[in-house]
Structure 1
């Protein structure tokens, strides 16, 4: 008997994209973070987490996958049931330790309730490209900028800040923080200047945080990312192979080719001449 899967959905298009790859998943959304283009079967609040977990069990769910964007909800102490209230010290301690700690605690709570935790890459591997160049071709200068950006993103991730950076001619033009990728690329488009206007245009690089549990909160890129990278005057987009979700892979490849950008699922151990 195949596993019955529940998508624990947040905002954005990823839950609908993932649901299309699965066989009739149960769609569950945190209140206030409804997914785009997808009907929700069950809505829940953190303050009522234990009743929600029991409802999943009653529905025959034995596997969950997290997909979509959420931010920390404001908790209402009056809404806690007795069982969920006992989890509050664990949740608060995790929240104070940062986003990664919070996500690890969420995974632990679902696992302790008896659910297998799957990642997007486990259930829909086509959404998470392996190594190779998907469009265009990074130059030697682009490859150096991508390597520099990779080191910066690793340092950012180690302190739980962001998952992206823009590097041109070896210099960091911007890093991703709380406002997110779109805000960073928009800022580069109107503000950042290269030391040599005729030199390398720069690379946007995206990757998971070091040590991140890849079953939850993988970074995602979409067609709008290609448009924003082009508006920022960049040569292309590089991202960690096997670590980033592409929401519109075919469309991104076609648009990057049309705009003259490269898309590179980067493996530091792989030859960038390989095609994906």
Structure 2
């Protein structure tokens, strides 16, 4: 699971001047960022695109709008003094309605439709470029929250077996191959057999799929491992893979032995709670060195 060339953002915290626009998707990550900003008294505008559920933002400075209104978005960000933007949390690809476009949306619609046909990283890079062309700086969640990236080593009480390590190496090869064509950041392997890979529906859907794999297809003694890692060459400011207590619960439901993540390359939400959940479920949680060739080394 080698670190993607040019992937991580430059070292150091983002510039303090100016407000942050947090484009919020689902999950705990955007809430954690927003709460940290509020604790530190830093200016924040939470952007909730249509169809996004982020009830935790009630009482904060929130802008709710459809995807077809980028002109309204840019106007609001200028009025709030926004200089930085962070995309955080899962978000479904929108179906754009040309009849709802504002003038800025009309100017961008051809580019947006092209981007929506790309893989996740290609799409997000393209949308990030739109914001950068407007003068905003993109920042990653790992730049905004300290100690969010997975540490190295076995993080809980349960140790991976030798077979688990072999399955992790196989899963790492699968994820690297898929990531090279901008598809997925996770795979599940048991006894050398790939039981499923992450696609556009995400990790939860992958684990649900594995839960339904017939017993006759689960050969050998391995219970299976979930591995998550960034795609080769991925822009680390955008859509870094993440796990949390919910991931542990779903991995346990799927009957897996544990979870492997690229140390320093995967976000762990609520680390202590996630480790405690893994211990309680009897799963190992392993942050494998990102500079190693594979988890078997």
TM-score (norm 1): 0.90
Q: Specify the SS of the correspondent of 2:116.
A: helix
Offset, 1:98: 3.1
- Equivalent residue for 1:176, pick from 198, 210, 213: 198
Deviation of 1:268 after TM superposition, in Å, equals 4.8
Cα displacement (A) at 1:24: 4.3
**Pair 1:17 & 2:32 matched:** yes
Unaligned runs of 5+ in 2: 1-15
1:166 positional shift: 0.7
Runs of 4+ in 1 over 4 A off after TM superposition: none
Once the two structures are superposed, the pairs formed by residues 1-276 of structure 1 within 5 Å of their partners are 2-22=17-37, 23-39=42-58, 41-135=62-156, 136-193=158-215, 194-196=218-220, 199-269=221-291
Contact 2:265 2:290 in 1 (8 A): no
Number of residues of Structure 1 aligned to a counterpart in Structure 2? 271
**1-side partners of 2:193 and 2:71: how far apart?**
48
Find the residue that maps to 2:155 and give its secondary structure.
strand
Separation of aligned partners in 1, 2:69 and 2:275: 42
Task: Say which structure, 1 or 2, has more relative contact order (CA 8 Å, 6+ apart).
Answer: 2
Cα distance in structure 2, aligned partners of 1:92 and 1:223? 35
1:36 CA displacement: 4.2
**1:101, distance to aligned residue in structure 2 (A):** 2.1
Measure, in 1, the Cα distance between the counterparts of 2:290 and 2:29: 27
- Can you list the C-alpha shifts for 1:53-90, whole angstroms capped at 9, x where unaligned? 12101111111111112112121212222233111222
Which stretches in structure 1 are left out of the alignment for 5+ residues?
Answer: none
CA contact (8 A) 1:13 1:37 kept: no
State the alpha-carbon separation in 1 of the partners of residues 102 and 201 from structure 2. Answer: 34
Q: TM-score, normalised by structure 2?
A: 0.84
User: Hey, what does 2:12 align to over in structure 1?
Assistant: none
Match of 2:10 in 1: none
Superposition CA RMSD, Å: 2.2
Residues 25 and 12 from structure 1, CA distance in 2 versus in 1: closer, same or farther, beyond 3 angstroms?
same
Per the TM alignment, residue 38 of structure 1 is displaced from its structure 2 partner at its CA by 2.1
Contact 1:222-1:249 within 8 A present in 2 as well: yes
SS in 2 for 1:47: coil
